[in-house]
Amino acid sequence: MKPAAPRTDAGKPRLTTSAMIASIAGEGQRTKPAPFGHALVELAKEDGSILGMTADLGKYTDLHIFAQAFPDRYYQMGMAEQLLFGAASGLAAEGFTPIATTYAVFASRRAYDFIHQTIAEEDRNVKIACALPGLTSGYGPSHQATEDLALFRAMPNMVVIDPCDAHEIEQVVPAMVRHKGPVYMRLLRGQVPLVLDEYGYSFELGKAKLLRDGYEVLFISSGIMTMRALEAAKALVSDRIDAGVLHVPTIKPLDAATILACCAKPGRLVVVAENHTVNGGLGEAVAGLLMREGVHPAFRMVGLPDEFLAAGALPTLHDRYGISTEALCARVKGWLK
Amino acid sequence: MRTAPLGHNVSLERRAWNIRRHAILMGEVQGQGYIAQALDVADILATAYFHAMRYRPDDPAWEGRDRFLLSNGHYAIALYAALIEAGIIPEEELETYGSDESRLPMSGMASYTPGMEMSGGSLGLGLSIAVGKCLGLKRKGSDSRVYTLFSDGELDEGSVWEAIMSAAHYKLDNLVAIVDVNNQQADGPSTTVMGFEPLTEKLEAFGWFVRRIDGNDLAAVRAAFDAAKAQHGQGKPSMIIADTLMGKGVPFLEAREKNHFIRVDAHEWRLALDALDERKPS
C-alpha cells in the first residue's frame, strides 16, 4: 500500500511537533507547575495510607514530586502496566490507597482487563491518574488516548473525572481520595493552565457547574475543552452571540439533575465539547440522558473524529480536528446561521 | 451431615481425601466442573490449609491470616472444597455450587465467597495482585505470607513474568507461589501450546527460590512448603513447581483421555465417589 502523502492544512505555517510536550498551555497563559504532584504531597502529609506507583512514567506524570517527598512510599513497577494495576489492587486490599500513574493510552488499552477485574470488580480503593488524555500529544495514535472516557465509563464501579486546569486538579486529588472506591482521572502535567480560579470555581465529585450563563448557546464540556469553551464564549461576544459554559468534570457518575435543568431552558443551542472521540464520551452520555428524560434542545457535538489521528504539532491538530477555540467558534457560528 | 473431621489429629492424607470428596459432590450437583483439576490439586490445598497456613475459620478476614490467592479461578471447585474442609464455608453450602444466588460460583470471585481473596477467571492476574499484597504486608510490618496458586497455562501470560520479575526485584520473601503443572490447558498439553521448560532454571535465573516436586506426593509437597516458608527473611520469593496428575485419586478419571475440561457422564459421579471411598485413608 502506498503511504499517504503528508497532510498539510492549506495556508497555515508548518509547525513542528514537540514529541512529549510538557504543557498544553497557550502562549502567555497563566500556569502552575505539576499541580497533581504537589497536591498529592500535601495530602500524603496528612494521610499515611497514600502510596505512589507508576510504570516507568513517574517523571512524565508529575509523580516524581511525590517520589522525592516520600521515597519510601513510592513504588516503581517498571514498564509493566498490567503488573502496576494488579499490584495496586493488592496494596488496596491491604488497606492502602495506591495512586497509580501512567499514560491514559496504556491504562485504558493495555491494562483494561487488569483494571476491570482486579480493581473495579473487586471494588478496590485504587486511584488511577493518567497523563496525555485525548489529543494532548502530537505523537500519533500510540499516545493519543482518544477513547479512554468511553472505556472507563463502560466499567462498573469506576468513577471517571476529566479536570480542566491546575486549580481543579488540586481539588480533584483530595476529593478522589475521600471517595472510597476506584477512580480514573485524566491528568494534565507539567506547566498546567490556570483558568478556573477566576470563576470562583470549586470541584465537587459528581457535580456539574455553570461557569457562565448565556441565552443563545450552552457549551457542555469537560477537561481542556472547558477552557476552550470559556475562550470561545468570550470570543463570540464580538459576534453578538451569548454563550454559557456548563463544566462537567465528573463524566461518571453524571450530574443528571444539573445537566437536565440547564438543557431545559428553552431556545438555547446545546453544544457538547470534548477532547475525546465522539463515540461514547461526554457527548453521547449527555445525548442519552436528554433522550431518556425527554428534554430535546437543539443539540450538537464537538469531539474528535472516529479515526486514527495524525501526528504533528498540537495547535495544527486541534485546528484540524475542530477542538481549538477558533474551530469551536467557527462551528457555533455556522450552526447559528 | 458433616464428613469433614474437625480437630487436630487428622492426617494430611485424610484432609486431601476429604477435599477430593467435597469436590466430587459439588461436581455432581452441577453435572460438570473442573473436577480433574480439583483432584490433581487436592494434595497441595490440603498442605496449604492444614500444614502451612495460619488462619481463623470463624474470621476469614482476620488481619493476621496468611493470604491465599486463587489465580486460576476455574479451580474454584477445589478451593471451595478446601474452604469447606477448613470450616470457613459450611459443608451444607456444597449443594449450592454453581447455582443461582450461591456464594460458590463456578469461577472464583472475591465478592462472593468468604476466604476467596481475589476474583479470578481472567487468567494471569494472581501473581500481580500477590506482589501488591506482599508489598503491603511488608509495609505494615506483618509476618503473614501470601500464597498464590496458578496453572501452567498461565505461564503463557506476559503479566505473569512481569510479576515474577518484580517479586524478585522487591525481594518478596513473604510470597509463596505454586504452579500446578498438570500439562493441560484449553487447547491441549501446555508444553505443546507454548513451551515453558526448563522452568526451574528459568525461575532461578529470575531470582526465585524454586522447588520442583511431585504435587501428588504429600511428603514432598509438605517438604516444599516448609522449604518455601523458611525463605521468609532470606530475600527471595519462592516458587513450588508441582507436577500433578489430573483426576488423581479416581483411577478411571486418571486414565481418561486428557482434556482441559474432562467429560464426566451423569452416572459417573457416583462411580467416582465409590472409587474414592475404596481408597479412604485412616
DSSP output for A51-64: EEEESS-SGGGTTH
Q: Say what percent of chain B tops pLDDT 70.
A: 97
Q: Which of A83, A85, A106, A115 has the most B C-beta neighbours within 10 Å, making it the best mutation to test the interface with B?
A: A83
Q: Which residues of B touch A123 (CB under 8 A)?
A: 111
pLDDT of the residue at A11: 62
Q: Is A91 on the interface with B (CB under 8 A)?
A: yes
Q: Which residues of B touch A92 (CB under 8 A)?
A: 132
Determine, for residues A87 and B166 on separate chains, whether the beta-carbon distance falls below 8 Å: yes
Nearest CA in chain A to B110: A122
Average pLDDT over residues A45-62: 98
A183 phi, psi to nearest 5 deg: -135, 135
Among A19-23, A228-232, B87-91, B259-263, whose mean pLDDT is lowest?
A19-23
Per the DSSP assignment, residues forming a β-bridge with A125 are none
Q: Are B34 and B75 in contact (CB under 8 A)?
A: yes
| Mean pLDDT (chain B, rounded) | 95
Which of B129, B161, B169, B172 to mutate to probe the A interface, most A CBs <10 Å? B129
Shortest distance between the Cα of B166 and any Cα of chain A, in A, equals 7
The pLDDT-based confidence of B3 (bands split at 50, 70, 90) is: very low
Q: Do A91 and B119 touch (CB under 8 A)?
A: no
For residue range A156-197, list pLDDT tens digits in order: 999 999 999 999 999 999 999 999 999 999 999 999 999 999
Nearest chain B CA: its distance from A90 CA (Å): 4
* pLDDT average, residue stretch A49-64: 98
Q: What is the pLDDT of residues A112-129, one digit of tens each?
A: 999 999 999 999 999 999
Q: What pLDDT score was predicted for residue B8?
A: 65
pLDDT at A336 over 90: yes
- State the pLDDT at residue B279: 94
Is A83 part of the contact surface with chain B (CB cutoff 8 Å)? yes
- As a residue count, chain A comes to 337
Amino acid at B276: L
B124-B126-B132 Cα angle (round to 5): 125
Burial class of residue B115 in the structure, from the number of CB atoms within 10 Å of its CB (0-12 exposed, 13-18 middle, 19+ buried): buried
Residue of B121, B122, B136 lying closest to A96 (CB–CB): B136
- Partner-chain contact B129 A118, CB within 8 Å: yes
Output the pLDDT for position B45. Answer: 98
In the block, residue with C-alpha cell 517438604: B223
User: What is chain A's percent helix, strand, coil content, to nearest 5?
Assistant: 40, 20, 40
A75 touches chain B (CB under 8 A): yes
End-to-end Cα spacing for chain B: 19
Confidence of residue A6 (pLDDT cuts 50, 70, 90): low
Residue B6 has what pLDDT? Answer: 52
B132 vs chain A: nearest CA distance in angstroms? Answer: 4
Q: What is the pLDDT of residues B203-238, one digit of tens each?
A: 999 999 999 999 999 999 999 999 999 999 999 999
Best CA proximity match to B91, nearest among B22, B34, B9, B6: B22
Residues from chain A that touch B128, judged by Cβ atoms under 8 A, are: 82-83, 85-87, 89-90, 114, 118
* CA B276 vs CA B14, B103, B204: distances in Å: 11, 26, 37
Residue A27 CB contacts under 8 Å (≥ 6 apart), including other chains: none
Name the grid cell of A138.
502530537
Ramachandran area for residue A56 (φ above 0: left; ψ -120 to 50: alpha; else beta): left
pLDDT at A23 over 70: no
Residue B174 CB neighbour total at 10 angstroms: 26
Whole-number pLDDT of residue B163: 98
Q: Is the confidence at residue A21, as pLDDT, over 70?
A: no
Cβ neighbours of A116 in B, within 8 Å: 122
Give the chain B residue nearest A111 (alpha carbons).
B159
What percent of chain A shows pLDDT beyond 70?
94
Residue B263: predicted pLDDT: 86
Question: Residue A118 and residue B159: Cβ atoms within 8 Å?
Answer: no
Q: Coil, strand, or helix at residue B76? A: helix
pLDDT, residue B100, reads 95
Does the beta-carbon distance from B131 to A83 stay under 8 Å? yes
Which pLDDT does position A143 carry in this prediction?
96
What are the chain A neighbours of B134 within 8 Å (beta carbons)?
90
Using 50, 70 and 90 to split pLDDT, how confident is the model at A2?
very low
Is residue A85 pLDDT above 50, yes or no?
yes
Residues contacting residue B16 through CB under 8 Å, at least 6 positions apart: B42, B43, B45, B46, B218, B249
Residue among A219, A224, A223 nearest A262 (CA): A219
Examine the pLDDT at A47 and tell me if it is beyond 70: yes
More confident call, B33 vs A334: A334
Compute the average pLDDT of residues B259-277.
Answer: 92
Question: Looking at the partner chain, which of A87, A98, A122 has a beta carbon nearest the beta carbon of B118?
Answer: A122
Beta bridge partners of A100: A53, A128
- Nearest CA-CA distance, residue A335 and chain B, Å: 48
Question: According to the model, what pLDDT value does residue B2 have?
Answer: 39
Give tens-digit pLDDT for B42-71: 999 999 999 999 999 999 999 999 999 999
Mutation pick from B135, B148, B154, B156 vs chain A, by most beta carbons of A within 10 Å, is B135
Which phi and psi (to 5°) does residue B8 adopt?
A: -105, -5
pLDDT at A1 over 50: no
Asked if B128 lies within 8 A of A83 by C-beta distance, the reply is yes
**Which of these, B238, B139, B125, B54, lies nearest to A94 by C-alpha position?**
B139
Could you give the maximum distance between any two Cα atoms of chain A, in Å? Answer: 60
Inter-residue contact A72 to A29 (CB < 8 Å): no
Q: What is the mean pLDDT of residues A212-225?
A: 98
Cβ of A117 within 8 Å of Cβ of B130? The answer is no
Q: How confident is the model at residue A25 (pLDDT cuts 50, 70, 90)?
A: confident
Contact criterion met (CB < 8 Å) for A118 and B165: no
pLDDT-based confidence at residue A241 (cuts at 50, 70, 90): very high
Residue B4 in grid coordinates: 469433614
Range of lowest pLDDT (A11-15, A288-292, B69-73, B149-153): A11-15
User: Residue A4: is its pLDDT beyond 80?
Assistant: no
